[in-house]
Chain A
Amino acid sequence: MDRIIGVAALLVGLAASPALATEWVSCTTPAGEASFDYLVGSLDVLAVAGLNISVGERVWASSVAYGPGDPVVVGQAFEDDEVVLIDAMDDGMSSVIAQLRLFKAEEGDNPVVYSGTLRIVDHGAWTVSCIGG
């Protein structure tokens, strides 16, 4: 429980602190059927401070500050030089709502390319590409 409180405090602090820059990464499917946006801080490890997920008319948001929607929380999340892996969970942390799996590629001075797959349980699976981050 202490660990959960600690992580929550870190994320709240991350989102609230002007000293730590945050940026949205927006991932969309080619035809725009679904999206998965996540707010990250400029840390050496992945700390997701916010989530917005949509498919059709269905929307999930981790905070009312990020828009209307059903509640969603960040489950396991991991990033290294090659991948970004994020699971979005229901607010009881009992079931997966969506899974984002991205590879990263960078060449020269161009921005990093993020692309992979998005699975939203009971709704579908798509390829996605992302901007931001």
Chain B
Amino acid sequence: MKRLIVSAAFAALAAPAMAGGGFMCSGEGVEAMFPLGGGAGFSLLEAEIRAKGKIWSTVARPDVIEIAVSQAFSGNHRIAFDLTDPNMQQVVAEIRLFWTEEESDPVFGGTLKMPGEGAWAIACDAG
């Protein structure tokens, strides 16, 4: 039964971004959203991080520092993904999450590290 619940949760996570699937994460002084794509595996479509009065986003706009989706992996109750500069030469953000559940919806918690900027404890809602 638990496997079914978790599978359902990840099926929801893998829903197209247009359907609202993805993570909304927050910590003290930081907010981030990570829409996910459909299909097998953990597929990050876009990313936006707001911290220290700055905005990093994969969607180019005049008011943001542009970033790119890089490596990502989900397995063994862990989710890890990195965001880089648009040329994929430097890691801009490292997100590391554990997930667990106890007869409830899964909960996601971990860290966001941005080299040169800071490191934060974050909790994420999946939707």
Contact = CB atoms under 8 A, between A and B. Distances in A.
Contact of B100 (A82, A99, A108, A110): A99
B61 interface: no
Interface in A60-99: 82, 99
Nearest to A115: B121
B32 interface: no
Nearest to A114: B121
A36 to B, nearest CB: 12
A127 B121 CA distance: 10
Interface stretch (B14-22, B64-72, B91-99): B91-99
B118 to A, nearest CB: 5
B92 to A, nearest CB: 12
A113 B107 contact: no
A117 B113 contact: no
B111 A121 contact: no
A103 interface: yes
B118 A117 contact: no
A105 interface: yes
B102 A119 contact: yes
Which size bracket describes the interface of B in this complex?
A: 20 to 34
Interface in B69-127: 77, 94, 96-104, 106-124
Interface string A106-133: 1110101111111111111111111000
Nearest to A128: B109
A82 to B, nearest CB: 7
B115 A122 contact: no
Contacts of A30: 123
A106 B94 CA distance: 11
Contacts of B111: 103-105, 113-116
19 contacts: A30-B123, A101-B98, A103-B98, A107-B114, A107-B118, A110-B118, A112-B119, A113-B111, A113-B121, A115-B27, A115-B110, A117-B99, A117-B109, A120-B102, A121-B102, A124-B103, A125-B102, A128-B109, A130-B121
Interface of A: 30, 82, 99, 101-108, 110, 112-130
